[in-house]
């Protein structure tokens, strides 16, 4: 039996075990993500996967003008890409690039490939992988703060936490501030900082199990953390990304996808009313973010928050065969692949170059051959959007993907089939897994009700 097959059986075994555990304990999906992250730290040989990932090009060409002027602006509303010295990010497993470098459902699918993160990853170059730091490197070769590699060792200013909800926002803000203050390579008062925030998805994933995640609760958490950033971080531009419709992930189907979704997204299978509530909560969160940020209450001369809505209308891409295009997703059918991160970075960048109230709101999976270039002097903020000339949309034309057939709900006979599959996998692979993969891993199962 090949190494890949052994790993696949082993991971499927664990997913099945998680499914059973969740069904009995109502374990919150965010905690399940953290447990899978621990699983990904096993010492299994993953060289084949890592080497293959190096040869998948997800880059673009660069032909934008770069200014040689070294005069640092005094206002965030006159900030150019060349002026950004430091980049950091706050978020959850998406910002941590969970599974992004994996080709198959092996241990790498449960690792954080932070160097590939769309908003803060600095692995490779723009020509081989699109990320916000790789873009900014073209403007400022001395850019600092981006994360590299796999895991936390070179995470730098990527303080994202897998499984984090909006309740962890304040703690991550505090951690980021601590890094900014204590890192000797950062001049807190002089360096211009770009901070990317993408958070709240786990609130929605968990909402049918944790009713405390309400729009009002989310709003209060955002206000508190935004005020802390404003008070403690000078010379900063903060991008806050809209939340996508996570229900779209139901279009990712198949045995592995269904098992993972049942384990990590149980609200998908709580009935149509629950699905509608997930979508309503996502829309409410985005409305709150847009209203809070557009109010201008958090903007000063040297600090600004900008709402980037490009992810608010997102669709699972469709392949030529009419099925969901899984090349944009990690093997767990939830997180983004390397290709998905590159696409997200490309369109976040394009959103940054568009005026407030004239930004694209639909994420398009494909990217153009060349990176969009600024057509106005400064990166857009709430204050300068009215004074800079509107250059129109800079990103690729966005067309709504062709609809994928609605996934079947897992009820009745389908669930019975999964139960049979679970039992079979456990029976056949238990002994094999113990001796070949997970002998050294002590999984800490916690079934407390949250």
Q: In the 8-state DSSP scheme, what is residue 195?
A: E
Of 46, 77, 93, 341, which is the active-site residue?
93
CA 17 and chain centroid, separation:
26
Q: What is the largest CA-CA distance in the chain?
A: 68
| Non-local CB neighbours of 346 within 8 Å, separated by 6+ positions | 60, 130, 367, 368, 371, 372, 395, 396
* Dihedral, 139, 141, 144, 147 alpha carbons, nearest 10: 90
Q: Looking at residue 242, what DSSP letter applies?
A: P
Residue 181 Rama label (left phi>0; alpha psi -120 to 50; beta) = alpha
d(CA 283, CA 301): 30
Residues in Cβ contact with 297 at an 8 Å cutoff, skipping those fewer than 6 apart? none
Report the phi/psi class of residue 17: left, alpha or beta, with left for phi > 0 and alpha for psi in -120 to 50.
Answer: alpha
Closest CA to 116 of 153, 154, 150: 150
Q: What is the CA angle 167-18-344, rounded to 5? A: 55
| Known catalytic residue at 113 | no
- Rounded Cα distance between 65 and 85, Å, is 18
Of the listed 335, 337, 364, 376, which one is catalytic?
Answer: 335
335 noted as active-site residue: yes
* Complete edge-to-edge strand list for the sheet that includes strand 236-241: 84-91, 192-198, 236-241, 303-308
Query: Cα(292)–Cα(166) distance, rounded to whole angstroms?
Result: 15
Distant-in-sequence, close-in-space partners of 150: CB < 8 Å, separation ≥ 6 = 101, 111, 112, 113, 114, 115
Is 203 in the active site? yes
Q: Which of 46, 83, 123, 203 is catalytic?
A: 203
Residues designated catalytic: 93, 203, 335
């Amino acid at each position: 039996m090949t190494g890949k097959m052994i790993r696949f059986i082993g991971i499927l075994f664990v997913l099945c075990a998680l499914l059973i555990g969740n069904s009995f304990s109502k374990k919150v999906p965010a905690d399940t993500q953290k447990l899978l992250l621990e699983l990904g730290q096993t010492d299994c040989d993953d060289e084949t996967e890592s080497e293959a990932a190096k040869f998948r090009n997800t880059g673009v060409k660069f032909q934008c003008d770069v200014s040689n002027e070294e005069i640092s602006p005094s206002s965030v509303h006159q900030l150019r890409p060349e002026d950004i010295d430091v980049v950091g990010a706050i978020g959850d497993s998406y910002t941590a690039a969970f599974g992004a470098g994996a080709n198959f459902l092996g241990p790498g699918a449960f690792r954080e490939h932070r160097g590939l993160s769309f908003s803060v990853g600095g692995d490779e170059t723009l020509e081989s992988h699109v990320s916000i730091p790789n873009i900014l490197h073209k403007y400022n070769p001395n850019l600092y703060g981006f994360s590299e590699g796999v895991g936390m060792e070179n995470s730098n200013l990527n303080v994202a936490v897998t499984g984090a909800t909006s309740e962890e926002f304040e703690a991550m803000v505090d951690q980021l501030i601590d890094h900014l203050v204590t890192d000797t390579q950062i001049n807190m008062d002089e360096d211009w900082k770009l901070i990317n925030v993408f958070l709240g998805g786990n609130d929605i994933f968990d909402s049918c199990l944790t009713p405390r995640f309400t729009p009002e609760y989310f709003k209060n958490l955002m206000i508190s953390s935004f005020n802390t950033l404003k008070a403690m971080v000078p010379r900063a531009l903060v991008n806050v990304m809209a939340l996508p419709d996570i229900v779209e992930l139901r279009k990712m189907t198949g045995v592995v996808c269904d098992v993972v979704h049942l384990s990590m997204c149980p609200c998908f299978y709580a009935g149509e009313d629950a699905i509608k509530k997930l979508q309503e909560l996502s829309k409410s969160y985005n409305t709150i973010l847009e209203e809070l940020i557009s109010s201008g209450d958090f903007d000063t001369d040297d600090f600004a928050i900008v709402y980037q809505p490009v992810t608010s209308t997102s669709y699972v891409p469709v392949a030529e065969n009419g099925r969901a295009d899984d090349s944009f997703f990690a093997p767990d059918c939830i997180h983004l692949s390397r290709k998905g991160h590159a696409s997200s970075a490309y369109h976040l960048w394009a959103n940054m170059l568009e005026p407030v109230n004239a930004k694209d709101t639909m994420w398009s999976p494909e990217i153009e051959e060349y990176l969009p270039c600024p057509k106005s002097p400064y990166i857009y903020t709430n204050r300068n959007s009215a004074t800079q000339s509107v250059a129109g949309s800079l990103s690729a034309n966005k067309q709504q993907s062709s609809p994928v057939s609605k996934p079947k709900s897992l009820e009745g006979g389908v669930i019975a089939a999964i139960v049979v599959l679970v039992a079979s996998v456990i029976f056949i692979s238990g002994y094999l897994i113990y001796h070949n993969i997970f002998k050294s891993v002590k999984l800490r199962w916690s079934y407390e009700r949250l």
